[in-house]
Structure 1
Amino acid sequence: MARPAALVERNLRAARHYWLTFVSGFFEPVFYLFAMGVGIGALVGSVEVDGHEIPYAVFVAPAMMATSAMNGAVYDSTGNVFYKLKHSKLYRSVLSTPLRPWDIAAGEISWALLRGLIYSAAFLLVAAVAGFIPSWWALLAIPACTLIGLGFAAVGMAATTYMRSWNDMDYVQLAILPMFLFSATFYPLATYPPALQWVVQATPLYHGVDLVRALTMGDLHAGLLVHVAYLAVFSAVGLLATTRRIGKLLLT
């Protein structure tokens, strides 16, 4: 991992010049947490999850944490990668060094993963201080968010290799916005019609949200392994696709 780490270090140094943009990505889910969890939560009161009544803010907080991991990973693996790939031609220069396409994929995905992890850890701290995290098992939500970030970073970078212009970035929002709104983030899965429940359960963010929610509530059970397996396969497919696409674009 020494060679991918060199690319991560390069990104870390570059981030010092756009630190405000880096930090700003953390605040969106925090704003949603307090607007929805506290504001609307005062009207909603509590919701029922697996037969237990919990405050609405406690229900929303883990969903926003999973979203933080997704956002941090997606932002870096799409816009930043597209600029380096199509405009600055950075990766052409990188390939003149000992780094190969796999190293580029691993380095960029690791950096996007790190960004998502920072957002998630900071969000967990804010939510815990606000009293929205009822269990110490929530610490396991950090590695869970790492897996979420890995999946979205890998698939996001693979999708970026197909983009032709900045206009194609709209497709990224078209993909992640519905997931953000309808992955059991703001209301339980049971509120959907049965036919739509299957659609929701097919999305990667739903699995991330349900996994993180269970961990923050201390609700550990064997069914969580299904979420872990889904996200692991999602990540593996993204890594494989990214490596192949980067190699095809830069070595031909």
Structure 2
Amino acid sequence: MTIAPSEQTRPPRRGVLLRILPPSVYTGRARALLERSTLVYSRAWLVFLSGIVEPLLYLLAFQVGFGALVDEVTGPGGEPMSYVAFVAPALLAASAMNGAVFDSTFNVFFKFRYNKTYDAMLATPLGPLDIALGEIGWAVVRGGLYALAFLGVMAGFGLATSPWALLLVPVALLVSFAFAAVGMVCATFLKSPAQFDFVQLAVMPMFLLSTTFYPLTVYPEPLQYVVQCLPLYHGIELTRGLSVGVLDVSMIGHVVYLLVLAAAGAYLTAKRLAGLLLR
């Protein structure tokens, strides 16, 4: 039987991404890493409590203690709101950030530098982009679980009063995705556990300055521009507006910022892994 030339040269029917990238980079099996992480953490589920307890203690402190000293602050759209309701959605975004950063830096570093887990994975059909998407995906799941638990606490305190608050979880997933992607890129540059201090040096000031506890207007004007460049600021603005049901066009800009950050981080992570592991 003679096969027509057009049929001989016709590529197999695959996804667009698989046609663009070589098989050594991506095979579309990132879900295997999600399954692996699920099995690993099924016996260590208590580690998730750390990401829930810390923001919960913050919220209790503001609800019972400091919140009693501050009556109202200016919220989204210039509307007054209680200080506890102002801080709560910011803590939710910070919780999603912390969960994603921890998983995509600490855990990835030890798998990469010491356990050589990724070297073993690349001996299978998995490629660097599979590893990047799989690890980032698990960090997103972890950050999303933190946010979901915190949203339940907010609802219990009566701090999620708008139906739009249901979108806080998707926003938290987007925040987790952006920080996990960037965090995994950073993890590939770390040489020793001592350098984790640099991660904390970036995360802690961002947590304190990204309008978590104060409105943007309290900062000097030059510092306001710096704050608006921080990734967590965009996540907080989204969660704060949705928690009270105040929506505006600027939210589109916040979403686009986080999507671009997530895409750039995933691409750079795959490129770094390919350069370091496929040499």
TM exceeds 0.5?
A: yes
Distance in 2 (CA, whole Å) between partners of 1:34 and 1:45 is 16
Which of 52, 55, 58 does residue 32 from structure 1 map onto? Answer: 58
- Tell whether 2:203 aligns with 1:179: no
- For 1:227, the aligned partner's letter is H
Query: Which residue matches 2:34?
Result: 8
Q: CA deviation at 1:23?
A: 2.1
Bigger mean CA deviation after superposition, 14-23 or 155-164: 14-23
What RMSD in Å do the two structures reach over aligned CA positions?
1.1
- Tell whether 2:43 aligns with 1:17: yes
Distance in 2 (CA, whole Å) between partners of 1:182 and 1:37 is 21
- 1:140-159, aligned counterparts within 5 Å? 140-159=167-186
Which of 204, 209, 222 does residue 231 from structure 2 map onto? Answer: 204
Distance in 2 (CA, whole Å) between partners of 1:142 and 1:234 is 19
Q: Deviations over 1:183-203 (max 9, x none)?
A: 000010001111110010010
Distance in 1 (CA, whole Å) between partners of 2:204 and 2:81 is 26
Distance in 2 (CA, whole Å) between partners of 1:27 and 1:8 is 25
- Structure of greater Rg: 2
Bigger mean CA deviation after superposition, 19-28 or 113-122: 19-28
Secondary structure of 2:30's aligned partner = helix
Distance in 1 (CA, whole Å) between partners of 2:237 and 2:255 is 10
- Tell whether 2:269 aligns with 1:242: yes
Bigger mean CA deviation after superposition, 24-33 or 70-79: 24-33
Query: Which residue matches 2:244?
Result: 217
- The number of residue pairs the alignment matches comes to 252
**Cα pair 1:155 1:235 within 8 Å, conserved:** yes
Q: TM-score, normalised by structure 1?
A: 0.97
Query: Which residue matches 1:121?
Result: 148
**Cα pair 2:87 2:212 within 8 Å, conserved:** yes
**Cα pair 1:37 1:58 within 8 Å, conserved:** no
**Cα pair 1:46 1:56 within 8 Å, conserved:** yes
**Cα pair 2:95 2:146 within 8 Å, conserved:** yes
Unpaired segments ≥5 residues, structure 2: 1-26
Distance in 2 (CA, whole Å) between partners of 1:182 and 1:136 is 28
Unpaired segments ≥5 residues, structure 1: none
Secondary structure of 1:47's aligned partner = strand
**Cα pair 1:78 1:156 within 8 Å, conserved:** yes
**Cα pair 1:211 1:224 within 8 Å, conserved:** yes
Q: TM-score, normalised by structure 2?
A: 0.88
Q: Deviations over 1:10-36 (max 9, x none)?
A: 111111332222222211111111113
Secondary structure of 1:133's aligned partner = coil
Secondary structure of 2:29's aligned partner = helix
Query: Which residue matches 1:76?
Result: 103
Which 4+ stretches in 1 moved above 4 angstroms? Answer: none
Query: Which residue matches 2:221?
Result: 194
**Cα pair 1:72 1:149 within 8 Å, conserved:** yes
Q: CA deviation at 1:147?
A: 0.7
